[in-house]
Chain A
Amino acid sequence: MEWHLKTPLSPEDVEKLEAGDIVYISGEILTARDEAHAHILEFAENGVELPFSLEGAVIYHCGPLMQQAGGRKAEEEKEREEGKEEKSGWKVVSAGPTTSGRMSKMTPPLLEAHKVRAVIGKGGMKNVSEAMKDKCVYLAYTGGCAALAAELIKEVKTVHWLDLGMPEAVWVLGVEEFGPLIVGIDSKGRDIFTEVRKKAEKVLAEMEN
């Protein structure tokens, strides 16, 4: 099946997706990788509200390569972060997915604290299908396809936590028909990556015999 979804995503949007389906997303996605995940969890632990909403959100495991349209320096941009209504002044150069496996441990507590409905990344995740059950899906985007992704990102809405560095900051991106994304882990517990890995392990065991 092929689906075209709009953010924010509802639990119903997610429930109908099956492993192997193709998905295109329009609306808003937020980048978050290692440091941003650690930060989000820290905020949750201390009961501090985030500077952005994760209600029905789509998180993109991505450390983009950005360029400032007017050639402003990063420090100046940080000061401008206060006035969020303004156009960010940034443009995307290249923005493919990063290896999701690194976020495997931090994802179950993240889903516990926030109603994130989809996680986009590459390579799959270990031990998250239980935490995703009935509420979230993992969408695989072709690793390395950063120039293609940049074409589908229409706007850099704003940036949070730029002090973490360009790749680790949270970038709020406006996207249109972002995909094709393959449902790698669905909300019913099916996980293509684990299935493929188990099959490979079996082949390997047979080779040794």
Chain B
Amino acid sequence: MVVFLSSKPSRETFIRSLVDLLRKAETRLSDDVVNAIKKAETSEESPVAKSQLQAILKNIEIAKTHGVPICQDTGILIFFVELGSEFRPDFDLEAAIREASALATEEIPLRPNAVDPLTRKNSGDNTGNGIPDINWKLVPGKQLKITVAPKGAGSENMSALRMMNPTEVEGIKKFVLETVTSAGGMPCPPLTLGIGIGGSFDKSARLAKEALLEPLDSPMNEFEKEILEAVNALGIGCMGLGGSTTALAVRVRTAHCHTASLPVALNIQCWANRHASIVFGGDE
């Protein structure tokens, strides 16, 4: 879901547009995700799994119709910003993104999820030290593109990262299968699996998260298909109650890494694969 706004925004318009963007991301799933879930429901043979997929589709409809969040875990807010080198904002973008997050929390509303990691004290407005998580990328051009991907804890908690032995490339699939098996129904399958391979310890995790933003209807490569097929053969099914669709898609992203390293990160996404984008300032 991408919205285009041709003129360069004022601070006020920018914040208002981000609140709208967050509302969209939290209350509607994009067509590629809904279609993938519908396809899973049609092909499912287990009556229990089918009932769960039907409840999911009903829930998606209710959220869309009433404009309420799809899931009560409205996530922590993760932003991906692509800032064009010729886009010159006349206000502090980061401060404005933080302000929009707090405003959206009150208006939509979103569940306040951000807590201090040690005292567990809730900030009350989804902002805090390092939250929202804003990832900056400088790109050529005149545009500013912002994607928001709210991420719930159920699936995030089941994600894993392993520094593998460089000679263990064949073990990547096994690592994914073991992680998905031990997660069972906890991350709310049917899942999307984002796999980041290479880079460094932290870069592999970022690659895995970015992989989850890819549309579910774009074609998978052979490696991704092989993993998807094996994951679905496990029979974990919707919500871990058994069934034929445990994952809807597998997305792999790679980066060159140290010759002595093989970082592999698996970011697990629940069925509610929420994200939305907006592009500012294309016309100038």
Query: Footprint of B on A, CB under 8 Å?
Result: 20, 22, 35, 62-65, 67, 74, 93-96, 98-99, 101, 122-124, 140, 142-151, 165-167, 180, 182, 184, 192-193, 195-197, 199-201, 203-204, 207-208
> Chain A residues near B111 (CB, 8 Å)?
63-65, 94, 166-167
Which residues of chain B from 234 to 284 have any CB-CB distance to chain A below 8 Å in the complex?
234-237, 239-242, 270-272
Interface flags, B148-180, vs A, CB<8A=1, else 0:
000011100100000000000000001001100
Q: A147 and B70: CB pair below 8 A? A: yes
Q: Which 10 A-B residue pairings sit nearest by Cβ, starting from the closest? A: A123-B186, A143-B188, A94-B72, A165-B122, A146-B72, A147-B63, A145-B59, A65-B111, A200-B234, A142-B55
Q: Which of A65, A142, A184 contacts B74 (CB 8 A)?
A: A65
Q: CA separation between A149 and B272, bound complex, in Å?
A: 16
Using A123-B188, A144-B270, A147-B70 as known contacts, say yes or no to A196 and B237 having CB atoms under 8 A apart. Answer: yes
Q: A182 and B68: CB pair below 8 A? A: no
> Chain A residues near B17 (CB, 8 Å)?
none
Q: B51 and A147: CB pair below 8 A? A: no
Q: A93 and B59: CB pair below 8 A? A: no
Q: A148 and B271: CB pair below 8 A? A: no
Using A63-B72, A148-B62 as known contacts, say yes or no to A193 and B185 having CB atoms under 8 A apart. Answer: yes
Residue B137 at the chain A interface, CB threshold 8 Å: no
Using A65-B109, A98-B154, A182-B48 as known contacts, say yes or no to A142 and B242 having CB atoms under 8 A apart. Answer: no
> Chain B residues near A207 (CB, 8 Å)?
177, 230, 233
Q: A94 and B68: CB pair below 8 A? A: yes
Q: CA separation between A94 and B272, bound complex, in Å?
A: 14
Residue B205 at the chain A interface, CB threshold 8 Å: no
